[in-house]
Amino acid sequence: MEILLETGDKVDVRIYHPSNPDGYIVLYSQVMNVDSEFYYVTPPVSKGVEYPIRVGQKADIIYYREAGIYMFQATFLKKVKDDHLTYFQIARLTEPEKTQRREFFRLKYMLQCRLRSLENEQSCEAVVQDISGGGVRMISPRSFYVGEKIECTLHLDEHVIAVAAKIVRSQRMPHDKRYEIGAQFIDVSEQNQNKIVGYIFHKQGELRQKGLV
């Protein structure tokens, strides 16, 4: 499987930013063209606004393939304006490597899911509040106890997947009869985990493109 970037690929551009609580910021961009030496990408944006990239700026370029999330370091060589188009020429500094840093990919996004206890077979519909490659936070009409194992069926656009999880937090919501549930995925197949991370990656790109994150 080809893991190098291709024209049309959507990418995250992660730049070191010491004043940010995370130590970095993540921007959105897209590959416009590729030649034998360089990539040409749209000006990276944050919340729908072009970010002031400087020539010589180094960044991590992060992108999705069916086998997972890949990342390499690159440098921004120059900004080019051509036929009413503006883009950056960038050069790859390192080889693409598959990243296991699932915590980078957490999505605050509401979607439907179904929870089924693997211990007493009781089930209910729930609403996901945020999801990562390692777990999920949900609002549920019923409680689960910490340590309880459940099956969580997630509707990820064209994919519907069922994953096992363990409850790590269950708290009654104030002024509400519902519960906030935190669950950690367990024994997730690599295929399903790649589907989850890929869904998060693409949704984050859509939200960044719209200036919503």
| 113-162: pLDDT as tens digits | 999 999 998 999 999 999 988 899 999 999 999 999 999 999 988 889 99
- For the beta carbon of residue 26, count every other beta carbon within 10 angstroms: 21
- For the beta carbon of residue 156, count every other beta carbon within 10 angstroms: 18
Outline where the chain has alpha helix (H). 190-209
Q: What is the pLDDT of residues 62-113, one digit of tens each?
A: 988 877 789 999 999 999 988 788 999 999 999 998 876 555 567 888 899 9
Partners of 106 in the β-ladder: 132
The Cα–Cα gap between 211 and 108 comes to 14
CATH of the domain at 76: 2.30.110.10
Residues 188 and 128 placed together within one structural domain of the fold = yes
The pTM of this model reads: 0.68
Q: Which of 142, 159, 140, 161 is nearest to 151 (CA)?
A: 161
Q: Which of 20, 13, 17 is nearest to 60 (CA)?
A: 13
**HSE (CB half, 13 Å, CA atoms) of 190?**
7
Q: Which of 70, 74, 73 is nearest to 91 (CA)?
A: 74
Domain region containing 171: 104-209
Residues 160 and 89 placed together within one structural domain of the fold = no
Residue after which a domain boundary falls, among 37, 65, 99: 99
CA distances 128 to 135, 143, 155, 183, Å, are: 11, 15, 10, 11
Q: What is the pLDDT of residues 161-208, one digit of tens each?
A: 999 999 999 999 988 889 999 999 998 888 888 888 888 888 887 877
Residues 111 and 202 placed together within one structural domain of the fold = yes
Residue after which a domain boundary falls, among 54, 71, 99: 99
Q: Is residue 183 part of a domain?
A: yes
The Cα–Cα gap between 154 and 159 comes to 8
Residue after which a domain boundary falls, among 83, 99, 115: 99
Residues 162 and 205 placed together within one structural domain of the fold = yes
3-state secondary structure of 102: helix
For tokens 């689960």, name the residue.
Answer: 144
CA 156-158-162 angle, to 5 degrees, is: 50
